[in-house]
Amino acid sequence: MTTSAARSAPPERAYMDLHDQVRALDEAGLLIRVDVPINKDTEMHPLMRWQFRGGIDENDRKAMLFTNVVDSKGKHYDFPVLLGAMGASPAVFEIGVGYPVGEVRDAWARAYANPIAPRIVEDAPCHDVIIEGDALDEPGCGVDALPVPISTPGWDNAPYFSTSCFVTKDPDTGVQNVGLYRSQVKSPRRVGMNPSVELRAGIYAHWLKYKARGEKMPAAIAVGVPPSIAYAAVQKAPEGLDEFALAGGLVRSPINVVRARTVDLLVPAEAEFVIEGFIDTEFLEPEAPFGESHGYVNVQEYNAFMDVTCITRREQPILTSFMAQLAPSEVSVMRRPGQEFIFMNHLRNALGIKGVTRVYSHERLTGGYKTFVVQFERGVPDDEVWRAMYGIATIQRSSGKLVIATNDDIDPTNADALLWAIAFRSKPHLDVQILPHRHEGHGPRDKTRGTEDSTLLINATLRQDFPPISLPKREYMERARVIWEDVLHLGKLKPEAPWFGYSLGAWTDELEAQAQRAVESDYWQTGREFAERRRNDVEMNTEVRDVT
């Protein structure tokens, strides 16, 4: 074990590291400190999970810092563990990403358009303590020193790093990739690697190139990175774009990186821990079961493994763990805004589709990959609507089992509203298509019917003017809300869209005048006018607007 010389000053930076983030969460009242002994293998993740499955409103969820970590054998660990810091709730997410939720899409657009190359520093906090060589074999000096929790007690077969940002490099171009993948703890000097068989450029593509060369792949796992790096790592960035540069674009400042000790890679200078090593490209070994983000336990597979050559860390590090598995989860909260931007950008810029106002990925239970809603302005031609749905279904291998097109008056977060739109704005024989020959992708594998899957496309957009939504107009609902909350003191209301009526086009000035007279208690005049418009040449239920 070696310790680096004391720095005269930390490297300059214009972004938060993990310690800054913890302080900000604490000051905002969004951090729960747990100082009693908590078993990392049986209690830690279940405690955090109750925030997502215990009927707690998403705005009330908080990050949790466990300062007294033990395991089932009574072992005490030196380092605290932080859960939920990146996406326990929208408020927590805003602190980490540095923007209000409503501005995140524009922030990602700027980051992708203006990536900022990282800045190489010589003296980094992540090298405060360095353990390499034979020192890694001493008890408590390898991966066994880290309090990695079990994410899904009762199903997972080991602790897994869930915030493990794998750093690898394309051996041909030299461009690095930072991807967030799980990593099984297998021994004090060996961890697993599961890239989920990425088809885009990334760790799996790099692994294939090293395999073709007959070489092991150098890699580094950064744990507890500055939040901007974590948010960039969970995105599916375009080929050739270093996620460190994407993170720099997000914070509008270069990210500090430092050369790793035993592999030719650049790693985050402010990472809490960095685990270096070489990933074998000849042999694979069993890995999993592990509770996955699609909501099911991932079965045991053959995957790669990494032999550890060095572990570096900060002087007083914090180990991070993500609440993944069944959505909603921390990972689904932090991934969704960037993912929705990528899909929106693809439709608008790559496919040139006009009139798209939003792409929404359904998160609860499905995890944000399987169900998408594409929203349009009124009047977008049907062929453009279908082209957008095809685009959603084909941009990523594992995305888009169900794609629904609606107009922007429908709240995509409300399943009732979506079913309402499908029920009244679509005709299944005209507005439903099945797109075949898809790969089943993210989720349990179908062992009886093969790997081919399909996508269901539903066009639930308005093709004609509809009558207004049958709710009181907004001004009357707002007035009633004031009476409810401030006069009668019946508690705070939580409006659910639609909570007021609005026009969908089939509303004339004459009808508006009649409705206005009604709220002014002058409806007798309307009755007199109707008596003058009697006729005997129409059938019952004939619409007045259809009669001259």
Listed by start position, the domains of the chain span 2-321, 351-459, 474-546
Q: What is the pLDDT of residue 364?
A: 80
Question: Among residues 410, 417, 335, which one has the least CA distance to residue 108?
Answer: 335
Question: 330-345 vs 90-97: helix axis angle to the nearest 10?
Answer: 70
Name the E strands within 136-262.
160-161, 165-169, 176-180, 183-187, 190-193, 217-223, 256-259
Q: What is the pLDDT of residue 328?
A: 75
Q: What is the pLDDT of residue 2?
A: 59
Q: What is the pLDDT of residue 384?
A: 96
Please state, as a whole number, how many other Cβ atoms lie within 10 Å of the Cβ of residue 84.
27
d(CA 541, CA 296): 52
DSSP conformational letter for 520: T
In the chain, which stretches have pLDDT less than 50?
Answer: 5
Residue type, 299: V
Q: Is 148 in contact with 183 (CB distance < 8 Å)?
A: no
Q: What is the pLDDT of residue 360?
A: 92
Contacts of 280 (CB under 8 A, 6+ apart): 216, 304, 305, 306, 307
Question: Among residues 149, 147, 157, 154, which one has the least CA distance to residue 290?
Answer: 157
CA-atom Rg of the chain in angstroms: 28
Q: What is the pLDDT of residue 197?
A: 64
Helix residue spans in 346-425 (DSSP H): 382-394, 415-425
Which phi and psi (to 5°) does residue 302 adopt?
-85, 125
Q: Do domains 2-321 and 351-459 have the same CATH topology?
A: no
Q: What is the pLDDT of residue 312?
A: 98
Q: Is 81 in contact with 147 (CB distance < 8 Å)?
A: yes
Helix, strand, coil proportions of the chain in percent (round to 5)? Answer: 30, 25, 45
Question: 18-27 vs 90-97: helix axis angle to the nearest 10?
Answer: 140
Q: Counting Cβ atoms within 10 Å, is residue 435 exposed (0-12), middle (13-18) or buried (19+)?
A: middle
Dihedral sign from CA coordinates of 21, 229, 306, 332: positive
Is the domain covering 351-459 a CATH 3.40.50.2300 domain?
Answer: no
Q: What is the pLDDT of residue 201?
A: 59
DSSP conformational letter for 440: -
Residue 535: helix, strand or coil by DSSP? coil
**Rounded alpha-carbon distances, angstroms, from residue 73 to 70, 150, 364, 534:** 8, 14, 36, 88
Question: Among residues 208, 250, 217, 212, which one has the least CA distance to residue 231?
Answer: 250
d(CA 155, CA 344): 37
Level-2 CATH architecture, domain 2-321:
Roll (2.30)
Q: What is the pLDDT of residue 394?
A: 85
Q: What is the pLDDT of residue 390?
A: 94
d(CA 324, CA 345): 26
Q: What is the pLDDT of residue 200?
A: 58
Helix residue spans in 72-191 (DSSP H): 90-97, 104-113
Please state, as a whole number, how many other Cβ atoms lie within 10 Å of the Cβ of residue 419.
12
d(CA 333, CA 12): 30
d(CA 330, CA 25): 15
Q: Is 299 in contact with 289 (CB distance < 8 Å)?
A: yes
Q: Counting Cβ atoms within 10 Å, is residue 93 exposed (0-12), middle (13-18) or buried (19+)?
A: buried
Q: Is 44 in contact with 83 (CB distance < 8 Å)?
A: yes
Q: What is the pLDDT of residue 510?
A: 92
DSSP class per residue in 239-290:
TT--HHHHHHHHHTSPPEEEE-SSSS-EEETT-SEEEEEEE-SS--EEE--E
Question: Among residues 231, 319, 244, 233, which one has the least CA distance to residue 275?
Answer: 319
Helices vs. strands in the chain: H and E counts, helices first: 14, 27
**Rounded alpha-carbon distances, angstroms, from residue 287 to 168, 184, 232, 233:** 20, 7, 26, 22
∠ Cα 104 107 113 (to 5°): 145
**Rounded alpha-carbon distances, angstroms, from residue 419 to 40, 134, 213, 412, 505:** 42, 62, 53, 10, 21
Contacts of 6 (CB under 8 A, 6+ apart): none
Q: What is the pLDDT of residue 386?
A: 97
Phi-psi group of 341: left, alpha or beta (phi > 0 → left; psi -120 to 50 → alpha; rest → beta): alpha
Q: What is the pLDDT of residue 438?
A: 82
Q: Taking the mean position of all CA atoms in its chain, how far away is CA 107?
A: 15
**Rounded alpha-carbon distances, angstroms, from residue 455 to 36, 128, 329, 439:** 49, 51, 25, 10
